[in-house]
Amino acid sequence: VEQCAGKLASAPHGKDQQEAGRAAVRSSRHNNSGGGDVAHRIRGAQDFFAGLLFIGFGVLALYLGRDYPFGSAMRMGPGYFPMVLGGILSVLGLLIVLKGLAIPGPPVGRLALLPAALILASVALFAITVENAGILVAVALVTIVSALPSGAFRWREVLILVVVMAALAVGLFTKGLGLPFKVFPL
Amino acid sequence: MDLLANLELGFSVALTLYNIAFCFLGVVLGTLVGVLPGIGPVATIAMLLPITFHFEPASALIMLAGIYYGAQYGGSTTAILVNLPGEASSVVTCLDGYQMARQGRAGAALAVAALGSFFAGCVATLILAMFAPPLAELAFQFGPAERFSLMVLGLVAAVTLAHGSLIKAVAMIVLGILLGLVGADPEVGRMRYTFGLPQLVDGIGFVVVAMGVFAFGEIIYNLERGSEREVFTSKVRNLWPTREDFKLAWKAVLRGTGIGSLLGILPGGGAVLGSFASYMLEKKLAKDPTRFGKGAIEGVAGPESANNAGAQTSFIPLLTLGIPSNAVMALMVGAMIIHGIQPGPQVMQERPELFWGMIASMWVGNLLLVILNLPLIGMWVKLLSVPYRLLYPAILVLCCIGIYSLNNSTFDVGLAVLFGLLGYVFIKIGCEPAPLMLGFVLGPMMEENLRKAMTISRGDPSVFVTRPLSLSMLLVAAILLLIVVLPAVRRTRQQAFQEQ
């Protein structure tokens, strides 16, 4: 039923667009397995989700800024500019969502969740360890954890890289440029 | 003549051994990241920004500028030998450059690209030296209303000339401005969007955002695509182009330099746009357009000259008006602010040694680049065999050290994780991060000037359209938008069709 509705909606726009619409439906079905009915109605998935993100940020800006003094046009308070922008962003987000519903566009595609998690985790580990355990431990953690999702992880290679990066961190950054890093854990 | 005296001052700064060393370092790094696909000048400059704090301001800027135009040279090497754009601005070089390499003429393609870039770089630097002072003169007459309108024009131009969806780019700008407002309000000190965190009182660090959305997001995206690449390892022989090559190439170099310089000056321009425009122009002007895509030397000479010219002239809006025209220039603003320099027309008067030193260093840098890229080309080719799986952990380590050392703050590193996530999401939903960066940099300045202008006019918004300079800038912005809106509709539709 959803698919029919989509076809009907695109009919007045001519044959080309209809084809594109069908392609988008095909690809979104292909990529969002388990998306159900909603996936059929979203024709430009990238736009749809981008719009949602912008609405989210816009509403957040309006909500958090609700108590900031607004002032007047002549004497703008701290709330004036952010509230106007929050409003604009929400409206733009809404338009982009509608565009995503109406106009066929590229799908979001599969998400690389594991690489994303490991890369970001490696940076977070650096933040956690650098001041307590020192730069050597922090550099080793970043290198090893971030290398895990490379698709061709080899311990020997990664350990050599750890040694090179650690030497660089201590030799160039700590000793050479005088950055205040603690080197050893103790 | 003033120009000569100024250039003399510039060369006296650029030709000190200390600054030549920094210029060399910059162009070597630039060539390096240009050659390596998967890391570009934006991430590199963001990575090195915190470290430049320990250098002299002039040396720091000379080095960072060298990274940007050096990357234009390096990008062509990868495009020609591997059929992969080392940089976005080398995308069109792949078309004919790689074909030339397959025909055994890689040497000629590399030489023409390097020599064309050198010529373009020298001419564009001269343009920069000639046009910057009068433009800065004009900028001195600006009040808050003009400055606000100018920033609006800059942002509008940046989105209209960028590729991709117009409305999403505008939304990214607005989001960027909002992120730029985080921290204490500049007039009354009221905390905005700080979530009660003392680390956010001074706002979100510029480097934090840049590294997160550009470097981290990009790395995750590259891992997702799996960027194992095939490297064209055959030896590069016969570096010197033939007479015939020269005859075909020199006009393309001239035209590429012209079109690249022009498009580089426009806000939102820079290197990428010029290379595309030049390729289209060469194809249109050629007697036999069917040669293009099959190893036409003009298809290498024109775009490669254009991208280097554009990289150089895109410094004009930054140095004269204080408006960054692309993401790299936004980072240069960050670099100047770290050193306590507010970018704008006053830089030329207050710090002439800095301004002219940087310009003079571009000639030095271009000369160094020709040497680096012609006789030493073999070294860079070897570098292409370094696998990405070893490269990106090293990039991450340098990013972490860079972010941390800016304020010795682990909070900043943690915040960069959030922006990295956001950066990856932006890629997945088809949002270009560059407009966000521009908005982030310009946001606080826009608010300040808007408030001042409205206070002066006693709350009357017509001030923006009654002052002639302000009005004309807003008109140009409106015209730009109008021109683009219709083709944008067509373009997005075309994109949708391509998905089939």
> pLDDT tier at B277 (50, 70, 90 boundaries)?
confident
Q: At residue A6, what are phi and psi to the nearest 5 degrees?
A: -60, -45
pLDDT at position A63 is 95
Burial (CB count within 10 angstroms: exposed 0-12, middle 13-18, buried 19+), residue B143: middle
Reported as a pLDDT band with limits 50, 70 and 90, residue A19 is very low
The H or E element containing residue B40 is none
In the structure, what pLDDT confidence band is assigned to residue B429 with cuts at 50, 70 and 90? very high
The answer to whether B171 faces chain A, any CB pair under 8 Å, is yes
Q: What DSSP line would sit under B54-121, residue for residue?
A: TS-HHHHHHHHHHHHHHHHHHHHHHHHHHSS-SSGGGHHHHHHHHHHHHTT-HHHHHHHHHHHHHHHH
Cα maximum dimension of chain A = 73
pTM given for the model: 0.81
Q: Give long-range contacts, CB 8 A cutoff, 24+ apart: B349-352.
A: B349/B136, B351/B57, B352/B6, B352/B9
Q: Quickly tell me which residue has 């650690």 as its tokens.
A: A166
Q: Which residues pair with A76 in a beta bridge?
A: A71
Mean pLDDT of chain A: 81
Asked if B190 lies within 8 A of A17 by C-beta distance, the reply is no
State what percent of residues in chain B have pLDDT above 90: 22
Structure confidence by residue, pLDDT tens digits, B150-179: 888 888 877 776 667 888 999 999 999 999
Q: What is the mean pLDDT of residues B478-483?
A: 82
Name the more confident of B452 and B81: B452
Cβ proximity of B124 and B312 under 8 Å: yes
Chain A from 114 to 143: CB within 8 A of any B CB: 115-116, 119-120, 122-124, 126-128, 130-131, 135, 138-139, 142-143
Q: Residue B70: pLDDT above 70?
A: yes
pLDDT digits (tens, 9 = 90+) for B353-376: 888 999 999 999 999 998 888 888
Is the per-residue pLDDT at B410 higher than 60? yes
* Cα torsion through A157, A159, A162, A167, rounded to 10: -100
DSSP characters over B212-266:
IIIIIHHHHHHHHH--------S-----SPPHHHHHHHHHHHHHHHHHHHHHHHS
The whole-number pLDDT of residue A10 equals 38
User: Residue B109's closest CA among B238, B234, B235?
Assistant: B238
Whether B287 and B100 have beta carbons less than 8 Å apart is answered as no
A67 touches chain B (CB under 8 A): no
Of residues A7 and B280, more confidence is placed in B280
First to last CA, chain B: 60
Q: Can you give the pLDDT at residue B1?
A: 55
Whether residue B355 contacts residue B319, with contact meaning beta carbons closer than 8 Å, is answered with yes
> Cα-flanking dihedrals φ and ψ of residue B191, to 5°?
-70, 135
Report chain B's mean pLDDT, rounded to a whole number: 84
Task: Note whether ipTM > 0.90 here.
Answer: no
**What SS3 state is found at A71?**
strand
8 Å CB contact between A87 and A58:
yes
B159 vs B208: which has the higher pLDDT: B208
pLDDT, tens digit, 9 for 90 and up, residues B211-227: 888 888 888 988 887 75
| Contact predicate B93/B85, CB 8 Å | yes
Res B268: pLDDT? 62
pLDDT (0 to 100) of residue B490: 53
More confident of the two residues B351 and A145? A145
| pLDDT (mean) for B332-345 | 86
What is chain A's Cα-based Rg?
Answer: 25
What's the pLDDT at A9? 38
Is residue B192 classed as helix, strand or coil in its secondary structure? strand
* Probe site for chain A from B397, B411, B449 (most A CB atoms < 10 A): B397
Q: Is B350 on the interface with A (CB under 8 A)?
A: no
Task: With CB atoms and an 8 Å threshold, state whether A20 touches B171.
Answer: no
Looking at the predicted structure, is the pLDDT value of residue B337 above 70?
Answer: yes
Is the pLDDT score of B500 beyond 50?
A: no
For B455, name the nearest residue in chain A, comparing CA atoms only.
A74
Q: Does the CB of B430 have a partner CB in chain A at under 8 Å?
A: yes
